[in-house]
Amino acid sequence: MKRLMFILALVPYWGSAATLDEVPMQGGMLMPMIEYRADVGRLHVMMPAGTAQLTPLLVSHPGDQFDPADPWFDNLDPSAQGYAFSRRYGFVMGMMSDPLPSGTEMWIRKLAGPDELEFYRYGGNPPKAWEPIFGTAGSPAARFWNGMMFHPGVSAPPGEEGYTATFEVYLVETDSGAELADSGTGPIVLEFTNVPDGRPALEMHLLPAVSWPAEADGWVVEYATEPHAAEWTAMTNTPTLVEGRPTLLVEELPDEIYLRMRRAP
């Protein structure tokens, strides 16, 4: 029986492609600024103006890809999940902050947010880390923060739905780990818009055949026998309209293949 596997991230062709060795910021920094105020005995936050935009690599860097050896490849690369992402939001300590009380340290905690909005520790030690944090993949919702500038990576499936995640920064006793009551910033709301990547969707039929939306002009169907093949072969037979959708027969292809669409050069 023929097995057809669709590469859901469709790789377009716009000029020469590059292999990126780091995760782009996807825009300018948005930095909630944290300060400790000794007169009231708690942390305070000053929020920046603006909203982060989650953008797929297919849109921000057309034709580019990540190195399969990099830990974020499966999450972000267009040939894998192809998630939209941003590193614009970050936490930073304000210059006017009072010293923290003796024997205390800061922690950041995610209070609320949808599961599909994923958070990762990026870079640092070890280099090129892409470690799930803030509840992603079952990780703890809270983590220690040393006050240095901290930009987590954030990803979500591409689309038009916006996202909101709520955090707080609070104090704990260094020795016992006990939280200091009423020491936190209160809710820190991070807002994200999202960007669709414009990929036409392939649909499988029983013939076997595949089809795609009629309005998706200027794309070609390609196949390979493995998902990360270095070379893909374009299907050259002429599609037939079936119920208004361009349709190709794939009977002459290998029994197990991967299919994707690529924008025609």
Lowest mean pLDDT among 44-58, 75-89, 149-163, 250-264: 250-264
CB-based burial, 52-68: b 16+ in 10 Å, e otherwise: bbbbbbbbbbbbbbbee
The answer to the question of residue 10 being in a domain is no
The pLDDT score that the predictor gives to residue 156 is 95
Checking if the pLDDT of 86 tops 60, the result is: yes
**Rounded average pLDDT over 69-77:** 94
CA distance 67 to 195: 23
243 versus 188: the higher-pLDDT residue is: 188
Checking if the pLDDT of 256 tops 80, the result is: no
The pLDDT score that the predictor gives to residue 238 is 85
Q: Are residues 170 and 135 in the same domain?
A: yes
Q: Could you tell me if 101 and 175 are in contact, meaning their C-beta atoms sit under 8 angstroms apart? A: no
Q: Are residues 130 and 254 in the same domain?
A: no
CATH code at position 125: 2.60.40
The answer to the question of residue 254 being in a domain is yes
- Which of 170, 194, 218 terminates a domain? The answer is 194
Using a pLDDT cut of 90, give the percent of the chain over it.
59
Identify the domain containing residue 210 by its residue range. 200-263
Checking if the pLDDT of 235 tops 80, the result is: yes
